[in-house]
Amino acid sequence: MGFLIFKRTGLKAYPLRRGAPLTTLLFLALAGLFLFFLVVRFDLNARELWANITETNFAVLLAAFVLHYTTFIFRGARWRLLLINVQRGEAPNPTILNCGGLILVSWFVNCITVLRIGDIYRAHLYSTETGHSLSQTIGTVVAERIVDVFIMFGLLLLASGLMVSTGVDTPWIFVMFASSVPFLLGIVLMGMIIFKERFSRFLPFSLGEAYLRFHRGALGSYERLPVILVLGLFGWLAEAGRLFLVIQALGFDVSIPLVLFATLANSLLTLLPIGGLGITEFGVAAILSSMLVRTAAGSVVIVDRLLSYLSVIVVGGTLFLIRTEMNRRIQSSKEMVDLPSGK
């Protein structure tokens, strides 16, 4: 998995750190190049940009930082419910703290890898640590994404309607693109439901069993759906709140519907294969430019990315290293217990 190498010990696997610092430095360098690209492409006034950033209200920015990390509590609580719904006593119920921590680690992995394999790595970690089915755990991650898509679509329609009613320019091309996502997802889900048994019979036995477990995780984990939806909604509102506070910290004024729209656009643009190469930030800056001058919009994007991207690398990377070391020690202890007594 990119910067991770897995060493086999019996039936278990645990990650070894190798090349992670180099990979992180590479992506930080790319982030720096992107910031340069943003300044040049938007023809931003570098002096004014620096003045905006240095005059940031750091007390408000700290509040944005704290609010940003509450999203991992909401998302952790939601994933915990999805896991409990499918485990049904087959494994110990996870804690919100553990689930939220795994999600933070997965975001860190997404930040430093090109293929955004964080969710797969998260499922692998949970499966390795608990012994729960990997395919079913991946299914619950897919269930998360299904819930997110429909919450995002509902919020996007709400934000678009409020923007129209208040006279704010609405990028309808982006709305049309966003509308295609739940439509295509609905077709895929219908196919999974209709052809569940037929598809599994075409696969070799072991793969067929794995697919059925994945299917159960993806489509059979929606008990207590209202609670799952509310937790997902709170997670997205926390992200929108972070962007709103960043804008306030910089001393700018943007309507709440536009902030919500920009937050959702940021997440939807990351679905593109090239979303991590500056396309996401460019798109968000373009949306914010409907109410802010270009340099102000660029300032918001830079500060928000420092908070939501760079801080995840630091905080999530620290948690990743701690968990890796803990897992290594646990594995070493198990190996020592399994050694023959020597008598």
Residue 193 pLDDT level (bands cut at 50, 70, 90):
confident
Start-to-end CA span in the chain (Å): 41
Q: What is the pLDDT of residue 302?
A: 87
Structure-token match 């598809």, residue found? 199
* pLDDT value at residue 58: 93
- H or E segment to which residue 94 belongs: none
The reported pTM is 0.84
Q: Is 208 exposed, middle or buried (0-12, 13-18, 19+ CB in 10 A)?
A: middle
Q: Look at residue 329 in the predicted model and tell me its pLDDT.
A: 82
Say which range, 14-23, 120-129, 134-143, 287-296, has the weakest mean pLDDT.
Answer: 14-23
- 300 lies in some domain: yes
Let me know if residue 245 belongs to a domain.
Answer: yes
The residues near 77 (Cβ < 8 Å, ≥ 6 apart) are 96, 99, 100, 231
pLDDT in tens, 149-168: 999 999 999 999 999 888 88
In a domain, 191, yes or no: yes
Rg, Å, the chain Cα set = 22
User: What tokens does 195 get?
Assistant: 């052809």
For residue 323, the one-letter residue type is: R
**pLDDT greater than 70 at residue 310:** yes
- Confidence class for position 127, pLDDT limits 50, 70, 90: very high
pLDDT tens per residue across span 5-64: 333 333 344 443 444 555 556 656 666 666 666 666 666 677 888 888 888 999 999 999
Q: Which residue has the higher pLDDT, 276 or 3?
A: 276
State the residue range of the domain holding 73. 57-326
Nearest to 119 by CA among 82, 144, 96, 147: 144
Q: For 222-271, write each residue's pLDDT tens digit.
A: 999 999 999 999 999 999 999 999 999 999 999 999 999 999 988 887 76
Q: Which tokens hold the place of 330?
A: 């646990």
- Per cent of the chain over pLDDT 70 is 81
Give residue 15's pLDDT.
47
Number of structural domains, the chain?
A: 1
What are the DSSP calls for 244-307, one per residue? Answer: HHHHHHTT----HHHHHHHHHHHHHHTTSTTGGGTHHHHHHHHHHTTTS-HHHHHHHHHHHHII
Q: At what angle do helices 205-219 and 134-165 cross, to 10 degrees?
A: 40
From 132, 131, 81, 70, select the one nearest 104 (Cα to Cα). Answer: 70
Give the per-residue pLDDT at 10.
35
Highest mean predicted confidence (pLDDT) among 60-64, 178-182, 209-213, 285-289:
60-64
Q: Does the residue 337 lie in any domain?
A: no
User: Rounded distance, CA 215 to CA 328, Å?
Assistant: 32
Please check whether residue 41 lies inside any domain of the structure: no
